[in-house]
Amino acid sequence: MPFSLLLSELYPKVDIKHLYCEIGCDVAGYSVYNNGNEFITKTANFEFSDEQDEDGNSEVSGPNFVITHFEDYSYGG
């Protein structure tokens, strides 16, 4: 059982949001749990800016939930 799901059973009046980023696998997502149920799930692939820094890394430019919740994501490819 996912830990977030267990937490939502223990605290049924609280929404538990689990966010994850796996840049090496090119996937990010989140799930929202409440009262022992998963009621929102979203997954997406990373989007990268066209510009690169001096090390050849591109800034992550999307999806929006990654930009909003995680800091300083760049990828050297």
Q: For 48-75, how does the pLDDT look when each residue is reduced to its tens digit (9 = 90+)? A: 888 888 888 888 777 777 777 666 554 4
Question: Could you tell me the residue ranges of all domains in the chain?
Answer: 3-71
Q: Is 29 a residue whose pLDDT tops 80?
A: yes
The dihedral built from the CA positions of residue 9, 12, 3 and 44, taken in this order, carries a sign that is positive
Backbone angles phi, psi at 7, to 5 degrees: -60, -40
Span 28-54, average pLDDT:
88
Q: How far apart are CA 26 and CA 35, in angstroms?
A: 30
What is the predicted pLDDT for the residue at 76?
46
**Which pLDDT belongs to residue 75?**
47
3-class state of residue 21 by DSSP: strand
Give 16's pLDDT tier (boundaries 50, 70, 90): very high
pLDDT at 2 over 70: yes
> Which residues is 69 bridged to in the sheet?
none
30: how many CB neighbours lie within 10 A of its CB? 19
Contact call for residues 21 and 66 (beta carbons, < 8 A): yes
